[in-house]
Amino acid sequence: MPKQRLSVVVTRRLPEAVETRLSELFDVRLRHDDTPMSRQQLADAMKDADVLVPTLSDKIDANLIAQSGEQLKLIANYGAGVDHIDVASARQRGVLVSNTPGVSADDTADMALALILGVTRRVGEGVQRMQSGEWDGWAPTALLGGRVSGKRLGILGMGRVGTAVARRAQACGMQIHYHNRRRLRPEIEAQYEATYWESLDQMLARMDVVSVNCPHTPSTFHLLNARRLKLMKPGSVMINTSRGEVIDENAMVRLLKSGEIAGAGLDVYEHGHEVHPDLLGHPNVVLMPHMGSATVEGRIEMGEKVLINIKTFDDGHRPPDLVVPAML
C-alpha cells in the first residue's frame, strides 16, 4: 500500500516553482489569495494539517498552538526569522519548527548597502526631484551628500548578514566595526579588518553609520533605546534591514526631527507594516517595504529549503534546519 501523503497547508502565495513542487510531493493546500490568513483561518489550518508552512506575517502564538490538532507535527517556516512563532510552546506540544537560514544573507546585505548609499548620497531626494519635474539643472551645491569611503560602519550583529554587509562595505572603503554577543575568530576579524567593541554604547558614540543586523529576541527588543540612540553622533545614519523591534522607533523619530541623527534607511518597522507617520516624507529618510530578501533567486531557495525540511521529516529524519528554543 502506498504511503499516505502529508497534509501541508501554505499560508501565503509562494513562487510558482515552489508551489508546483510542493503539490507534486504532498497533499498541499495553497493560498490563492495573496493576503495573510486570518487568525481563525490559521487555527482551522493547524487543526487539519500535518505540516504548516507560515511566513513572517503569521503570528503563531501559544494559544494557537494549544488549539492545533494532534496530527500537526511540523511548522516549516518560510523564512529565517522565527520570532513570530512560539517555538518553546510548539516543542512542548511535540511540534517541530524549521526555518530557512542563510538563504537571504546576500540579498539583505545588498539592501543594507543600498540604504547606506541611498541615505548618505541623498538618492531618495534626487529621485523625488526628478519625478516631480523640479530639477532645473546641475548646481555646485545641490543635494550634497557624504562620501562613504573612509566612514566608520558599526554593525550590530555580525552573523551571516552582518558579515555580508561588512564585505560589501569594505569594498566601498568603509572602516568595519562591530558589536556581537561573541567576538569573531581572529582570522575573520583580519579578513574584514574589523574592530570589535565589547561595549555597544562606546561603539554607537563613534560610528558614522550603524547597521542593525541582529534578530529580534526578548533581549534585543529596543536594544537601541532612547538613551543609546542619543549617544550617536549628530551626523550619523541609522540603517535597519533586520527587525524593527530592535529600535525604539519613537525615540529615533524624535532624534531625526531634532537633527541629532542625520538620517535613516529602513526596510523594517517596529509595528510591522504600520510605518510611523513622522517617517513618511522625511527628507533624510529612505523607506523600503521590507524588500531585503525580495529576489526571485532568494525566494525560490527559501522554498527549496522548506521542501527539504518537510521531505526529510516525512522520511522519518530530523529536519536539517530544525529550530530549538536554545537557539533563540
pLDDT in tens, 245-270: 999 999 999 999 999 999 999 999 99
Q: Spell out the domains of the chain, with CATH numbers in brackets.
A: 7-103+295-327 (3.40.50.720), 105-287 (3.40.50.720)
| Per-residue H/E/C for 10-35 | ECCCCCHHHHHHHHHHCEEECCCCCC
pLDDT at residue 328 in the model? 44
Is the pLDDT confidence value at 327 over 50? Answer: no
The alpha-carbon radius of gyration of the chain (Å, integer) is 22
pLDDT digits 0-9 by tens, 303-321: 999 999 999 999 999 999 9
pLDDT of 38: 95
pTM score, two decimals? 0.90
Cα torsion through 215, 217, 219, 224, rounded to 10: 50
Region 174-183: mean pLDDT is 97
Q: Which of 97, 23, 92 is nearest to 54 (CA)?
A: 97
How far is Cα 143 from Cα 201, in angstroms, rounded to an integer?
32
Q: Mean pLDDT, to the nearest integer, of 74-97?
A: 95
Mean pLDDT of the chain: 95
Is residue 130 very low, low, confident or very high in pLDDT (cuts 50, 70, 90)? very high
